[in-house]
Structure 1
Amino acid sequence: MAIIFEEKQNIFHLQANDTSYVMQIIRDGYLSHLYWGRKINQYNHSNKLQFVDRAFSGNPYPSIDRTFSLDTLPQEYPGYGNTDYRNPAYQLQLDNGTTVTDLRYKSHVIYKGKPALEGLPAVYAEDKNEAETLEITLEDQIADISVLLTYTVYEQRNVITRTAKIINTGSASVDLKRALSVNIDFRDADFDFLHLPGAWGRERHIERQPLRSGIQSVESRRGASSHQHNPFVALLRKGTNEDNGEVFGLNLVYSGNFLAQAEVDQFNNTRVSLGINPFDFNWKLNPGESFQCPEAVMVYSHEGLGGMSRTFHDLYRTRLCRGTFRDKERPILINNWEATYFDFNADKIEQIAKAGKELGIELFVLDDGWFGKRDDDTSSLGDWFVDKGKLPSGLEDLVNRVRNMDMEFGLWFEPEMISVNSDLYRKHPDWCLHVPNRTRSESRNQLVLDFSRKDVCDEMIKMVSDILASCPITYVKWDMNRHMTEIGSAILPPDQQRETAHRYMLGLYRVMDEITAAFPHVLFESCSGGGGRFDPGILYYMPQTWTSDNTDAISRLKIQYGTSLVYPISSMGSHVSDIPNHQVHRYTSLDIRGDAAMSGNLGYELDLSKLTEKEKEVVKKQVSTYKEIRKLIQFGDFYRLISPFENNEAAWAFINKDKDEAIVFYFRLLSEANSPFESFKVKGLDPLKSYKVENTNDIYGGDELEFVGLSVPTELNGDFQSHVWRLKALK
C-alpha cells in the first residue's frame, strides 16, 4: 500500500518509491504536517510536535492551554485569522463581511488510481494500480465551508500530487479570495530557494539564493505563466548539487497567473505554498458550488537536481503528455518564418520545402501571414481564412504541393488574439478582454480574445477546425504573442469581473482539449512569444513547446539547460537559424548551431534555398545523424554535466534506459589563450559496461568515464566550438 492510515494515532503515511510524506490529525481535528523527505518504513514520532508558551503567539484555547498555537503548528492547509499570522493557503469572505474561517478534519477515503480534474489539466495514471489517492475532507461548521484535499502517490516514482477543492455547503454566497493548491510547513529554514526567472528571449535561467527571514516569492500577473517566471520552485538543502543532496521541487499544472513563495517565520520555520495568484483574483461561490484548484506536482530527490529532473521528465513525458505523439519520435521540420516573414507566395514556399526535402527534412511549417490580409503584424488576427492574394489557389493547393514531395505540412495559428483591423473585431468589438470606458491597450498591435466566454471559444474551435479539416495538415504551431491588460469581460456581472483571468484559462483548456481531440493525427506545438507559456498545463494538451524565440546557439545553452530542470527534452522545440542571429546578431558556425538544436526537437528556420553546397552537406549530415539519435535524444535519460551558468562551457548527455547507448555534447563559449587541457566526467553510464566511441578505436569503461573523465579535443580552436561523442556498449 502507498497510503497507510494509522487509526490509533490518526497518522497518514504516504509512501512513494523513495519518499515519505506524513500528516496527523491532532487536537480537535487540526491537520498537521509532520514530514516530507526520504522514505522511512514507519513513522514513530522521532520529531514529535512540541508545544511551549510562545508569549505573543495567540492561543485558540486561552483558558485551557497557552502552549498550543496555530502560529507555530506545521499545517497542511492553513487559514488566517485565528492565531496563525503566516500567509494562508486559502481565504474566504463570508456573507457577513468577515474572513475568519477554521477548518477541521471531518473524514477521509483512500482508493486506487488517480481522479481527473474537471476542466483542468493534471497528470494521470494509466493503470489504477500505479497510484493511490487519499481524499481528506476538512470543514468549518460555522461558515458552512468544506475543503477536499486530494493527495495522489505514484508508488514507483518519487512523486506526490496535491490539489484542493473548496465547497460552499451553506445557504449564502461567499467570495473566495485565495485558493492555493499546496502548502507545506517545514520545521527549519536550512534551504536554498531555486527558481527559473527570465525575459523574452532569455527564458528559464537558473537563480539560487539562501532562504532569509520573511517572504521570497515568484509570480505572474500577466495572464500567462510568462517568460519572466515559471510556476516552479525548489528548496535545496545546503550543499546540494547536480548529483547529491536533498531537493524538494514543486510545479503547478497551470498556465495562468500563479504565486510560488517561501515564508521563513520568527521561529525559523519555512512555509512553502504554490497556486493561483491571489492578486486581482476573486471567485463568487454560490450555495452548493465548488472551486477546483489546479494540481501541484511535488518531487523529492536525495540525488540532487539531476535526480529531481529525471523524475519530472519521466512523469511528464509519459503521464502528462497524451495522444498519438506522446511516445512517437518527433519530425524534423523547416519553418519559413525567419526566411520570409510575411513576404511569400506559394512558389517561394514550395522552393523552401523542396530544398528541405533534398536535405532529408520531413515537415514543412507555414508560419504567420497566410490568412486574412496579413501583410504585417497590424491586421487580420481572428480572420482565419486563407489570403487568396498570397495563395490564389488556396491552402489545399500549397499543402498538396508539399505533400507531393513526401513531406508533411504544418500551419501556424494564433487563436487567442484579435487585431483591431480585422473583420472579426469589426463584427464583434466586445469579444476582446476590455474594461468599459478604458483604452484598450495593444501589444504587438493586437488584443486578447475573451476566452472566458463560451461563444468566443465556440467560434475559435469552429474556425481552427474548419482549416484543419480542409486539407491534410499534420502539425500546428499554436502561438500566443501578448499578455493580458484591461482584464474584464463584457458578459460577467460586476461582482465577478475578477474571475475573468481564471475563466479565460478554463476556456482555453476547453478549446485546446476539443481541437486536439478532434485531430489526433496532428502534432501540436505551443508557443507564447517563444517560451512565455512553457508549463505543465499546456503540455497536457500539446506535447511540445517552442522553447524560445531566441534561436542563437549560445543563448540556447542556458535556456535549454534551465528548461531541462523540470521539462523533458521531448517537449523542447529547438531550431537552427540564420546568421547573424536575428535576436542577438551573433555569428556562430553551422556545426554548433546544429549541435545545440539537436539537443531538443530538431528543426530549421532559415531559407534553405540560399545555402551554399558546403552548408547543404552540413545540414544533410545533421539531419541524417539526428534521425539516428532522435529516439535517444527525445526519450532517453538526460544528464547535465557542465553548467553554462557557472562556466565558459556546457555539456550534457543522453543515455538510453538500458545504458548501452549514449550521446555526449560539449560546448565551449569563448576561446582562451594557452588554456589548460580540459576533461569532464560523464554520468549515468553503467560502470560494469565498456563503451566504444563511434568512429574511433577508443574504448572506455563506464566507471572510467564517470570517475576519471573524458578529454576535450585540443583541436577545438576559436570561439563557440562544440564536439559530440556517440558511445555504444560492447556486447
Structure 2
Amino acid sequence: MSITFNESTRIFTLNTAHSTYQMQADIHDYLLHLYYGARTAGEMDYLLSYADRGFSGNPHSAEMDRTYSLDALPQEYPSLGTGDFRNFALNIENADGSQCCDPVYVSHKITKGKYNLSGLPAVRARENEAETLEILLADPNTNMEIHLLYGVLEKEDIITRSVIIKNAGEASVTIRKAQSACLDFLHGDYDLIKFYGRHAMERNMERVPVSHGSIRLGSRRGTSSHQYNPGVILAQKNANEDSGSCYGMLLVYSGNFLCEAEKDQYNQTRLQMGLTDELFAYPLAPGAEFTAPEVILSYSNKGFSRLSQQYHHCIMNHICQGKYVHENRPILINSWEAAYFDFTGDTIVELAKQAKELGIDMVVMDDGWFGKRNDDNSSLGDWCVNEGKLGGTLSQLIERVNAEGVKFGIWIEPEMVNEDSELYRKHPDWAITIPGRNPIRSRNQLLLDFSRKEVRNHIFEQICAVLDQGNIEYVKWDMNRSMADVYASNVTYDYVVGVYDFLEKLTSKYPNILIEGCSGGGGRFDAGMLYYTPQIWCSDNTDAINRTRIQYGTSFFYPVAAMGSHVSAVPNHQTGRVTSLHTRGVVAMSGTFGYELNPALLSVEEKAEIRMQLAKYREHQELIREGNYYRLSDPFQDDFAAWMVVSEDQNQALVSVVRLTAEANPVAAYVTLRGLAEDAFYLEKTTGKVYAGAALMEAGMLLPAPKGEYEAYQIMLQRVTE
C-alpha cells in the first residue's frame, strides 16, 4: 500500500516510487508535518524538537508544558488563532466576529482510487493507480470540520492535496483564507523558483533565496494571470537540472491564487499554495461545504529535469482528457495575423486553398465573424453569425472550406460582453460591475457574470447554436481581460467554478472538438484549464527569440503537447524582429505546431520550405508529444537556447538549438545532451556521424560555425543497433 497508518504512534506515511511524505497526529491531537523527501523507511518523529520558546505561545491542551508551541512545530494545515504567528493556511471568521479555528485530529480513512472534487478539476486516476487518505480535523468549539484530502499516485511520484471545509455547527461563518497545501521544513537553505511575466512575455523563470521573512506572489486579476503562474519550485541551493532536491507545487485552478514562502525565526521554511485571501471572503451557512482547489505536489532528488518530467507525465495522463491528448493534432493556420478583422468568407476559403496547397490540415476563423464585429469595440455577447460579412451562412462557409480538403475551426470569447451589443442593452446587469459605480473597461469589454447560472446557460445556448451549424473540429476559447469590478467577496471563486461548469458541459456535448485555451495568449495557462483544453495558446508573442524564453519557463511544469506554438510572419508583429523561416519553424515545433501568416505573401522558396517543415514535424510529432523533455541551456543566460526530447525507450532523440547572439570571431559552442542511453551509440541522421551516448552527455556536441544571426539547428539521433 502507498498509504499506511501506525495505530500506536499515529503516524501517516505516504510513499511514492521515489518519495516519502509523513505526518503525525500527536499527543495533543494536532497534526504535525514530519517529513517530505527521498523515499525512506522508518518514522521521522525523532526530528521534532521541543524547547521553551519564550514569546511562542502554548495551546491550552499542553497545560503547563512551555516547550510545546505550534509557533515552532511543523504543521500540516496551520490555522490562525492557535498561537502560530507564521503564515497560516486557514482563517475562519466566526459568527461572533472572532477569527479563530483550532482544528484537531478526529479520524481518518484510507480508500482505493483517487478522490474527486465537486465542481473543480482535479487529477484523475483509476482505482488501481492511486489511493486516497482523508483526515478529519474539527474545532470542538464551533464544530467546523476540515477534511484534508491526499491522493497518492505512487508510480507517477505525485501526491495531491485538497481541503473540504464543512460548517457542522449551528451558526454561519465566513472563510477568509483557505489554502490547499502547506509544507514545513525543519531545516535547510532553499531557493524559490517562480515564473513571472506580463502580456506577451509570460513565465520568465526567476530564482530567489528564501530568506527571513515572507515571499508572497499570486494573482488578484480573476485569472491565474500573465504576471505569475500558479506553479513554484522550492529548491536546495545546489539543485540544478541534473541533481539536487526540489519540490514542486502546482495549483489546479484558473483564478486568483496565493503562494507564500517563509523562513521563520528558527530557520524553518514554510511553503503554502492555494486561494488568495484578497478579494475573498466566503460565507458558509450551517451544513454547507466549501472545496479548495487541488495542489499537485512532486519531489525529485535528481534535479529539475526529473521534476518537470513527473509533472509532464501527470498532466498528460491524469489532467488532460479527451481523444486528442495522445493523438496527432491538426496542423492549423489561423486567420488572425493573416487578416485580423478584415476578411470575408472568400478570404477564409482562399486561406483554405493556400493551406491545402502547402499541406496544412485546418483553417481557423478568428475574431470578427459575429454580430457587427469589425473591430474590438462591439458585439461580444452577440454570438450570431454575420452572414453579410461571410457572404452566406456559416454552414455554407464550412462546406466550402471542407470542399478544399481542409478542416474548419473557429474562435470564441464566451465570457465577455461589449457595452455596444444587443446582449448588454438587454441585460446590463449580467456584466460584472459594482452597483452605483462606472465599470472598469479593458479592451472596451466587460466580463459576463459566469457565477450566475442563467448567464452561463444563455451563452451556452448561443455557442451551441453556432457549433451545430457545421463540421467545426476546433474551437479557440479566448479571454481578453482581467476581473476588476469585484462586487462581492465570493464572486472571484464562484466565477471560476462557473467557467468550469460551462466547459464541462461543452466538452461533454462536443467530445470530438479540439478546444484550445487562450487568455491573451498565456494569461490563463494552468492545470485547471488543461483539464478541459489539452492545449493552450502559449503567448500572443510569436517572435521566435522571445518564444525560446517563454517556452523555457513554461516547460518547468507543462508538457510540450500543451503549448500552442506557431510560425508567424516577419517582421514579427509583436517585436519587429526578422528571423529565418527555419528558425521560426524549429521553435514552433516545440509545441502544437501551426502557422499565423498569409500564405499568399510567401515566395515560392518559402512555400517549399514550409512543406519541408510540415513533413519534418509530421515525422517527429509523436516523439515531440510523448518523449521525455530536457532543457539543455538557460536562454536567459546562455548564448543559445537548446532543448531535446528523448523517446521512452531511448532509441530516438530530437535536439533543437537556437543561437541568441551573434559575434565576430565567435568561440566554439558545445551543447551537452541528456537522457540518452550511456552504453548506446547514436547515428546523427543529417551528417551520418555516429556518437557514443555517454560522450554526448559528458563532452557534448559541437555546433556548426554560425553564418548569420539567430541560426537554428535540429539534430535527429537514432540508436544504432549494430
Query: Is 2:377–2:445's contact at 8 Å kept on the other side of the alignment?
Result: yes
What corresponds to 2:613 in structure 1?
622
The Cα shift of 1:82 comes to: 2.7
What corresponds to 2:273 in structure 1?
274
CA–CA distance in structure 2, aligned partners of residues 241 and 100 of structure 1: 41
Residues 44 and 453 of structure 1: CA distance in aligned 2, closer, same or farther (over 3 Å): closer
CA–CA distance in structure 2, aligned partners of residues 704 and 185 of structure 1: 41
Please state whether the residue corresponding to 2:105 is helix, strand or coil.
strand
The Cα shift of 1:485 comes to: 1.2
Equivalent residue for 2:691, pick from 694, 697, 700:
700
What corresponds to 2:663 in structure 1?
672
The Cα shift of 1:259 comes to: 0.1
Please state whether the residue corresponding to 1:521 is helix, strand or coil.
coil
- Map Cα deviations across residues 571-622 of structure 1 (whole Å, 9 max, x no partner): 0010111111111111111110111101111110010111000110111110
What corresponds to 1:429 in structure 2?
428
Please state whether the residue corresponding to 1:241 is helix, strand or coil.
coil
CA–CA distance in structure 1, aligned partners of residues 602 and 589 of structure 2: 19
| 2:337 counterpart of 1:343 | no
Please state whether the residue corresponding to 2:505 is helix, strand or coil.
helix
Equivalent residue for 1:713, pick from 677, 697, 704:
704
CA–CA distance in structure 1, aligned partners of residues 282 and 638 of structure 2: 47
Query: Is 2:180–2:295's contact at 8 Å kept on the other side of the alignment?
Result: yes
What corresponds to 1:492 in structure 2?
none
- Map Cα deviations across residues 652-675 of structure 1 (whole Å, 9 max, x no partner): 001111111111001101211111
The Cα shift of 1:239 comes to: 1.1
What corresponds to 1:659 in structure 2?
650
Identify which range, 264-273 or 249-258, moves more after superposition: 264-273
**Any stretches of 5+ residues in structure 1 without a counterpart?**
489-496
CA–CA distance in structure 2, aligned partners of residues 657 and 422 of structure 1: 52
What corresponds to 2:103 in structure 1?
103
**Equivalent residue letter for 2:582:** D
**Equivalent residue letter for 1:606:** L
What corresponds to 2:112 in structure 1?
112
Query: Is 1:642–1:652's contact at 8 Å kept on the other side of the alignment?
Result: yes
What corresponds to 1:560 in structure 2?
551
What corresponds to 1:463 in structure 2?
462
Please state whether the residue corresponding to 2:387 is helix, strand or coil.
coil
| 2:30 counterpart of 1:30 | yes
What corresponds to 2:200 in structure 1?
201
The Cα shift of 1:401 comes to: 1.2
- Map Cα deviations across residues 101-142 of structure 1 (whole Å, 9 max, x no partner): 2110000000110021100000110x2111111000000110
What corresponds to 1:407 in structure 2?
406
What corresponds to 1:223 in structure 2?
222
CA–CA distance in structure 2, aligned partners of residues 205 and 101 of structure 1: 38
Give aligned-pair identity as a percent. Answer: 46
The Cα shift of 1:634 comes to: 1.3
**Equivalent residue letter for 1:92:** I
| 2:73 counterpart of 1:73 | yes
Residues 646 and 69 of structure 1: CA distance in aligned 2, closer, same or farther (over 3 Å): same
Matches for 1:513-532 after TM superposition, within 5 Å: 513-532=504-523
Matches for 1:431-580 after TM superposition, within 5 Å: 431-488=430-487, 497-580=488-571
CA–CA distance in structure 1, aligned partners of residues 33 and 668 of structure 2: 51
Query: Is 2:681–2:690's contact at 8 Å kept on the other side of the alignment?
Result: yes
What corresponds to 1:383 in structure 2?
382
**Equivalent residue letter for 1:730:** V
What corresponds to 1:729 in structure 2?
719
The Cα shift of 1:353 comes to: 1.4
**Equivalent residue letter for 2:526:** D
The Cα shift of 1:718 comes to: 2.0
User: Over aligned residue pairs, what C-alpha RMSD do you find?
Assistant: 1.0
Matches for 1:180-195 after TM superposition, within 5 Å: 180-195=179-194
The Cα shift of 1:44 comes to: 5.0
Residues 197 and 44 of structure 1: CA distance in aligned 2, closer, same or farther (over 3 Å): closer
- Map Cα deviations across residues 35-85 of structure 1 (whole Å, 9 max, x no partner): 0000002225442x1111011111124752111111111000111123111
Query: Is 1:671–1:717's contact at 8 Å kept on the other side of the alignment?
Result: no
**Any stretches of 5+ residues in structure 2 without a counterpart?**
none
- Map Cα deviations across residues 236-264 of structure 1 (whole Å, 9 max, x no partner): 00111111100101010000000001011
Residues 63 and 146 of structure 1: CA distance in aligned 2, closer, same or farther (over 3 Å): closer
What corresponds to 1:599 in structure 2?
590
Query: Is 2:647–2:653's contact at 8 Å kept on the other side of the alignment?
Result: yes
Please state whether the residue corresponding to 1:122 is helix, strand or coil.
coil
CA–CA distance in structure 2, aligned partners of residues 80 and 424 of structure 1: 45
The Cα shift of 1:523 comes to: 0.3
- Map Cα deviations across residues 522-547 of structure 1 (whole Å, 9 max, x no partner): 00000000000000000000000000
Query: Is 2:408–2:471's contact at 8 Å kept on the other side of the alignment?
Result: yes
Query: Is 1:253–1:295's contact at 8 Å kept on the other side of the alignment?
Result: yes
**Equivalent residue letter for 1:473:** I
TM-score computed with the length of structure 1 as normaliser: 0.98
- Map Cα deviations across residues 502-559 of structure 1 (whole Å, 9 max, x no partner): 1101100000010011101100000000000000000000000000000000000000
CA–CA distance in structure 2, aligned partners of residues 159 and 378 of structure 1: 45
Identify which range, 693-702 or 67-76, moves more after superposition: 693-702
Please state whether the residue corresponding to 2:489 is helix, strand or coil.
helix
Please state whether the residue corresponding to 1:667 is helix, strand or coil.
strand
**What is the aligned residue count?**
720
TM-score computed with the length of structure 2 as normaliser: 0.99
CA–CA distance in structure 2, aligned partners of residues 418 and 697 of structure 1: 58
CA–CA distance in structure 2, aligned partners of residues 349 and 391 of structure 1: 9
Please state whether the residue corresponding to 2:204 is helix, strand or coil.
coil
- Map Cα deviations across residues 349-377 of structure 1 (whole Å, 9 max, x no partner): 11111111111100110000000000000
Query: Is 1:264–1:271's contact at 8 Å kept on the other side of the alignment?
Result: yes
CA–CA distance in structure 2, aligned partners of residues 200 and 60 of structure 1: 47
Residues 45 and 76 of structure 1: CA distance in aligned 2, closer, same or farther (over 3 Å): closer
Query: Is 2:245–2:301's contact at 8 Å kept on the other side of the alignment?
Result: yes
What corresponds to 1:494 in structure 2?
none
- Map Cα deviations across residues 325-357 of structure 1 (whole Å, 9 max, x no partner): 111111111001011000011111111111111
The Cα shift of 1:193 comes to: 0.7
CA–CA distance in structure 2, aligned partners of residues 21 and 720 of structure 1: 46
The Cα shift of 1:189 comes to: 4.6
**Equivalent residue letter for 1:421:** D
Matches for 1:70-149 after TM superposition, within 5 Å: 70-125=70-125, 127-149=126-148
- Map Cα deviations across residues 462-514 of structure 1 (whole Å, 9 max, x no partner): 111111111000000000000011122xxxxxxxx210111101100000010
The Cα shift of 1:456 comes to: 0.4
Query: Is 1:16–1:157's contact at 8 Å kept on the other side of the alignment?
Result: yes
| 2:581 counterpart of 1:581 | no
The Cα shift of 1:389 comes to: 2.2
Residues 391 and 63 of structure 1: CA distance in aligned 2, closer, same or farther (over 3 Å): closer
| 2:603 counterpart of 1:612 | yes
CA–CA distance in structure 2, aligned partners of residues 199 and 543 of structure 1: 23
Query: Is 2:34–2:44's contact at 8 Å kept on the other side of the alignment?
Result: no
Query: Is 1:189–1:211's contact at 8 Å kept on the other side of the alignment?
Result: no
| 2:330 counterpart of 1:331 | yes
Matches for 1:335-374 after TM superposition, within 5 Å: 335-374=334-373
Query: Is 2:333–2:596's contact at 8 Å kept on the other side of the alignment?
Result: yes
Please state whether the residue corresponding to 2:135 is helix, strand or coil.
strand
Query: Is 2:679–2:693's contact at 8 Å kept on the other side of the alignment?
Result: yes
Query: Is 2:132–2:151's contact at 8 Å kept on the other side of the alignment?
Result: yes
